[in-house]
Structure 1
């Protein structure tokens, strides 16, 4: 066994628990660790642990994609969800159009346009990407 391999094995025993996500318990621990790193490092790419932050974020993303996939949904599905969450009806969304326009969007007869997406994103304080 090479010296490099021996050195890596020695360090891997300490790093392995930090970079392993095989179940929900390890996932929860990884999220907690990631949040702690984000609190300390933020977006400082010069911080000595930024590479760890980036790697841990990637591992969490892969675990989520595999075990908690996002369902496919349309902009109308997202709008319907937000309307339900906020107790809104079609007439409450006059900024995106008449009640008839909102109805057509919700029934898939009309797509959301850029202006409507921007207004909805602002109203619900989310990224416009959620409606695309």
Structure 2
């Protein structure tokens, strides 16, 4: 029997009742995998390759449920399978189509922080410099990257390619 004891509350929580065959040589718990129970889980949840955001959300809900409780060996296999399917989907679905460059990062941060080009002119010195940087005609210097990092409260390395 595998149990935990709450001495203050004077309670015993029984986790597993096992046969001797279910323990390994070192006396550690070794739960056996039951293919029939796993088959029942597969039939109940019908895991498959995730192709849409809705399917991903459904798989995430199952993961969330399994994550917050003690899992049987069969549930753990389902859990690992779903994690693999979710990771594969998210790598493909959320992978940006194009590389993020320093210029697009500045435009993104301007929008996020509700700032405009005039704010950048104060940071970088002139309208001409801001225009050249935002159009990708001029590389951002390490000093400009430092100033942008301070302005947006991010790492300056985001602005250096």
Specify the TM-score bucket, using the shorter chain as the normaliser: 0.5 to 0.7
Which structure is higher in helix share? 1
Q: Provide the residue aligned with 2:54 in structure 1.
A: 25
Runs of 5+ unmatched residues, structure 1: 1-5, 41-48
CA radius of gyration, larger in:
2
Residue 92 of structure 1 is aligned with which of 112, 119, 126? 119
Structure 2 CA distance for aligned equivalents of residues 15 and 28 of structure 1: 18
Conserved in 2, the CA contact under 8 Å of 1:18 and 1:30?
no
Which is bigger in relative contact order (C-alpha 8 A, separation at least 6)?
1
Change beyond 3 A, Cα 1:63–1:84? same
2:125 is the alignment partner of 1:102: no
Residue 90 of structure 2 is aligned with which of 59, 64, 87? 64
Runs of 5+ unmatched residues, structure 2: 1-32, 69-75
Structure 2 CA distance for aligned equivalents of residues 8 and 89 of structure 1: 61
Using the size of structure 2 for normalisation, the TM-score is 0.46
Instruction: Point out 4+ residue stretches in structure 1 off by more than 3 angstroms.
Output: 6-10, 15-20, 30-38, 84-87, 113-132
Conserved in 2, the CA contact under 8 Å of 1:76 and 1:108?
yes
Aligned length: 115
CA RMSD of aligned residues (A): 4.2
